[in-house]
Structure 1
């Protein structure tokens, strides 16, 4: 028995059929199958949750006429797109920071709030005091909201512990969500998110290298914890270029992908450093240099840009057009965190078009196949192709562009969210 048949769709947006991540001008050319002459489009997901067939209705009907399906979805007049991939989030925390939004509106900068004991340190204090169950409850609520907005694969960072016990607590909570919730997760260790109170940046670096990473490696080696990536906040006044490089290299040595914060507020040549280390992805990049862009283009590192952060923090937008012109694969993330509260990838995509001057096709590629590539999962996620995981969103419109154009209307447009061939959200 097959798991799912979707039939009669007006559009089936595969995004990248056999091309992998899309860089440069290829980002403007997402692959779309269009219904024609009354022939709708169908998609089949097998019993293991993988896409087995994509074609016109009559072709699929002939090939699968004798098959039974656990679920059938009539997509008449609808559009089928890959599930969104959110390539950068901080979703495990306790402690509300609503008050900081008011401070930002009054003109306080990110680093001014940080230096005054707010920002990350405020969240760290509350997260350290929260139980596993309290953190898990908060994470579940946020992930379910992301799922309802079409996100089917999400990167989840730790980073609000800044010491071994709380960092590992956050990673355990992420791992539990991976096993219990119907959303795919890429887990990231971010022990170097800020310098803890009472420590120097060098002392904090040594703690990550000599205490946190060895404990993490032991848990990973024993099969007690699955972690995919390592991150560090490479920034003036936080972890400098040399300290960040040491941390990233240590993470790489235990099998973690390098996927880190760089060039957000100060130009430190972290893009060049990351490219040299073979970073899978580098995020933010508001202050990246031309040399940094060239280095990333040559290394193949994915640029994860965060329009909600540029918008909320009133930062200078990263030079996305130049990145694309140089051939870099650009991905999108929500940067969801208590400082930038957005759970909706459709809204992120719209902001990317307006703030970063991306086309709608570029924005869709950045929120699907390229975001999957930023997590090392472009072979399994991010496009609708035979053999890939059956993660998709069915839109109640015959044009996929409406999910970007109709700003803030995803609740009306998203009819079904499907992961591994299972309908996990339906909008009645």
Structure 2
């Protein structure tokens, strides 16, 4: 018995057709779309193992699978099918919202001014330290369920609102519990170096992450208590400098983690060059990246995870998406969901990438699928609709897939089904 058949689709967006692991430059404009041919729509088969088994026009699929029964059949007449979206950068485990800070930002306060006024990361850290693991999980669960309804089937989730051993471990355990219990898939990141805790210097915080927090995280990974994929540092003026960032990242690599960190957000720090030197899997933000940093990333293959929501909310310089793409850097997208940038929607993030970062809709979709998968080391299995990959689908009620970006904020009406490994995990009421 098969798990899922989707039939009669008007369009199926494959994104890739030939096993590409990442799209760069001009190739980002060429996402692959399989269209109905006049008489036949397009069908998709997800096998009992949750993997894509076949994608073709209806007549060919019906002939091949005429004797096969399926647990679920979806009639997608007039609808479009896309890969599940991949959110490459989020901070979703926290207590203590920062809605009051939004008024400060609207009045012109900078990120660091808010921080110095007792807001920002330290405000959330105070509340997250006090919160129980159970409360953090319930808050986290609600946010992930909202992301899922927006079509996100794989999300990168960071710790980083603890800044001490006990709270960072508490956050990572919350992420681990969600991995086991929720249908959305999670790639986890240890971000103990997200800020400088009150009462510590940057050097003391660096020492604490390297010699206190990381060894415990590593031991719990070895014992099978945690699954952690990446090491992250906020490399920024007034936070962790280039040398401190390098030492923390190298310690993370020694603990078995891949590098996926914050760089060049508020000030030019040469962190893109550092990331390239260390063969970082991904570097996020890049609002202040230099031409030399762009060249270094293009050469190293490090992926740039752009966060158009952050530049929008904080009124920062926009990350130079066009220059990055035209220079051969693979660009991915993330919502940067956090207490200060409360966005759960990849469709809205893609819209902002198109309007504010001057990306085309094809480029934005590639950045939210195959390139975001690559930024998490999962392009072999995720990010496109190709036989053998996971059966993660978003089915929208529209005659062309571009409506998902074009209809700003309209995804709650457009998205009819979200499918994870062949299981329907969301159906529009």
Q: Shorter chain as normaliser: what TM range?
A: over 0.9
CA distance in 2, matches of 1:323, 1:27: 12
Aligned to 2:230: 229
1:75: how far off? 0.4
Aligned to 2:354: 353
CA distance in 1, matches of 2:346, 2:7: 25
Aligned to 1:16: 16
1:37: how far off? 2.0
Name the SS of the counterpart of 1:303 in structure 2: strand
Name the SS of the counterpart of 2:186 in structure 1: strand
Poorly superposed stretches of 4+, deviation over 6 Å: none
Post-superposition CA distance 1:14-56 (Å, at most 9, x none): 0012222101111011000010121110000011100011111
1:272 corresponds to 2:261? no
Gaps of 5+ in 1: none
Aligned length: 428
Post-superposition CA distance 1:355-378 (Å, at most 9, x none): 100000000000111011100001
Name the SS of the counterpart of 1:95 in structure 2: coil
Aligned to 1:405: 406
Aligned to 2:73: 72
Aligned to 1:328: 329
Aligned to 2:5: 5
Aligned to 2:183: 182
Post-superposition CA distance 1:36-92 (Å, at most 9, x none): 121110000011100011111111111111111010000000000000000000000
1:138: how far off? 0.3
CA distance in 1, matches of 2:337, 2:223: 31
Post-superposition CA distance 1:157-182 (Å, at most 9, x none): 00000011000100000010011000
Post-superposition CA distance 1:322-348 (Å, at most 9, x none): 100011110000000000000010000
Aligned to 1:83: 84
Residue correspondence of structure 1 range 128-143 to structure 2 within 5 A: 128-143=129-144
Aligned to 1:395: 396
Aligned to 1:308: 309
Aligned to 1:338: 339
Residue correspondence of structure 1 range 111-190 to structure 2 within 5 A: 111-190=112-191
Aligned to 1:257: 258
**TM-score for the superposition, normalised by structure 1:** 0.99
Aligned to 2:295: 294
Aligned to 1:418: 419
Gaps of 5+ in 2: none
Residue correspondence of structure 1 range 373-388 to structure 2 within 5 A: 373-388=374-389
1:25 corresponds to 2:7? no
**TM-score for the superposition, normalised by structure 2:** 0.99
CA distance in 2, matches of 1:328, 1:288: 12
1:55 corresponds to 2:56? yes
CA distance in 1, matches of 2:119, 2:279: 33
CA RMSD of aligned residues (A): 0.6
CA distance in 1, matches of 2:16, 2:241: 37
